[in-house]
């Protein structure tokens, strides 16, 4: 399989580490204008063979590709995906699809017109505890879901390229959270959003690094959402209430598979179903790429299709609109 990867940063390194386990990951080309990033990549994978390009035009004019993976900063995703449409039938974009709902709609429509399968890489839902929660929901343990509480606070003082984000939490982290919530619900459509945010005095960010939102979905499910990049102490919790009982997960950080999953039938106390200690061999990128390759022509099967991802980006844009105007926004 001929794959072109645009960008050689940390996401690309993580993907390559997992992709090397597959027999189809062999003919590789990489676009990266920053020589230090290439040096870093070669240091991580000294035996990795790939063609190196410093510009997208050079790479696209030299060959055709079975798939193009876009792992650049989100404000470049639209441009890079647009240039790739004429050279491949498969494009995989690291989340978020683009840095706005409008641009995401445009590139998704263009891909559809040109018969290019456009997918979005959301790997976090492949953590074992998330997959187990999804399994229990599908088995009917909680019954009809009525409300979700999602809380993920962490201290991320290293701003990096997030300094250029007007809403760093919403576009960098919330897209993962909303993808997970969408996985619980088999997709969602937002009816209304109220969102507010703040930037604590100790924060290194230029704009709101703490977000709170109340989201109502079309089927009257309510979601209380909290996310932070500048929390004084990390905390991660999911609570899903249905007409048969409540599932809850308590941990410290979404990026590690560590915490306790409990269930309480209606009117009863919580009992732990499983403890996750982060010592498993779980590889979220491996699991995502396995699903991606297995369903490469039908990403809707595992909820990675760009069109489905648009609802997540619409919800984020509604949060931004509500936050900036301090109003409840209806869809």
The full length of the chain comes to: 331
Q: Which residues in 258-323 belong to E strands, given as ranges?
A: 258-265, 271-277
pLDDT band at 266 (very low <50, low <70, confident <90, very high): very high
pTM of the predicted structure, to 2 decimals: 0.94
Whether residue 184 is predicted with pLDDT greater than 80 in this model: the reply is yes
To the nearest 5 percent, what fractions of the chain are helix, strand and coil? 35, 30, 35
Taking alpha carbons only, the member of 201, 130, 203, 122 closest to residue 162 is 203
Q: Residue 13 has what pLDDT?
A: 96
Q: Residue 164 has what pLDDT?
A: 62
Q: Residue 308 has what pLDDT?
A: 82
> CB within 8 A of 10, min separation 6: which ones?
none
Q: Residue 281 has what pLDDT?
A: 57
Q: Residue 305 has what pLDDT?
A: 84
pLDDT band at 301 (very low <50, low <70, confident <90, very high): confident
Query: Residue 264: left (phi > 0), alpha (psi -120 to 50), or beta?
Result: beta
How many other C-beta atoms are found inside a 10 Å radius of the C-beta of residue 214? Answer: 15
Q: Residue 11 has what pLDDT?
A: 95
Whether residue 49 is predicted with pLDDT greater than 90 in this model: the reply is yes
Cα–Cα distances in Å, from 251 out to 177, 191, 235, 265?
A: 15, 30, 6, 21
The CA angle 224-211-100, to the nearest 5 degrees, is 100
Which CATH code is given to the segment(s) 125-330?
3.30.360.10
Q: Residue 253 has what pLDDT?
A: 83
Q: Residue 137 has what pLDDT?
A: 98
Whether residue 280 is predicted with pLDDT greater than 70 in this model: the reply is no
The token duo for 231 is 């929390």
Whole-angstrom distance, CA of residue 128 vs CA of residue 107? 32
Residue with tokens 């699903």: 291
- Average pLDDT of the residues in 206-216: 94
Instruction: Write down the domain spans for the chain.
Output: 2-121, 125-330
CATH topology of domain 2-121: Rossmann fold (3.40.50)
Task: Identify the weakest region by mean pLDDT among 76-90, 139-153, 206-220, 276-290.
Answer: 276-290
pLDDT, mean over the chain: 93
Q: Residue 256 has what pLDDT?
A: 80
Preceding amide of 96 cis, omega within 30: yes
Residue with tokens 């909820």: 303
């Amino acid at each position: 399989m001929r794959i072109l990867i645009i960008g050689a940063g940390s996401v690309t390194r993580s993907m390559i580490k997992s992709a090397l386990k597959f027999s189809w990951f062999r003919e590789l080309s990489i676009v990266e204008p920053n020589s230090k990033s290439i040096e870093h990549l070669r240091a991580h994978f000294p035996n990795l063979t790939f063609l190196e390009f410093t510009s997208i035009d050079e790479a696209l004019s030299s060959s055709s590709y079975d798939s193009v993976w876009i792992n650049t900063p989100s404000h470049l995703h639209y441009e890079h995906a647009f240039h790739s449409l004429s050279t491949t039938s498969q494009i995989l974009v690291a989340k978020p699809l683009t840095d706005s709902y409008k641009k995401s709609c445009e590139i998704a429509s263009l891909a559809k017109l040109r018969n290019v399968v456009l997918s979005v890489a959301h790997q976090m839902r492949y953590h074992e505890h998330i997959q187990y929660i999804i399994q229990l929901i599908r088995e009917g343990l909680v019954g009809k879901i009525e409300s979700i509480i999602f809380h993920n606070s962490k201290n991320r003082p290293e701003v990096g390229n997030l300094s250029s984000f007007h809403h760093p939490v919403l576009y960098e982290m919330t897209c993962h959270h909303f993808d997970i919530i969408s996985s619980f619900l088999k997709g969602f459509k937002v009816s209304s959003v109220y969102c507010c945010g703040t930037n604590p005095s100790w924060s290194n960010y230029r704009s709101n690094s703490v977000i709170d939102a109340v989201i109502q979905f079309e089927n009257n499910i309510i979601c209380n959402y909290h996310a932070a990049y500048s929390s004084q102490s990390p905390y991660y919790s999911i609570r899903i209430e249905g007409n048969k009982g409540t599932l809850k997960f308590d941990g410290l950080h979404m990026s590690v598979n560590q915490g306790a999953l409990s269930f309480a039938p209606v009117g009863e106390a919580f009992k732990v179903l499983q403890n996750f200690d982060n010592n498993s061999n779980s590889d979220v990128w491996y699991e995502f790429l396995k699903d991606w390759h297995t369903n490469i022509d039908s990403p809707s099967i595992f909820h990675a299709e760009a069109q489905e991802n648009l609802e997540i980006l619409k919800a984020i844009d509604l949060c931004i609109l509500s936050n900036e105007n301090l109003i409840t926004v209806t869809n």
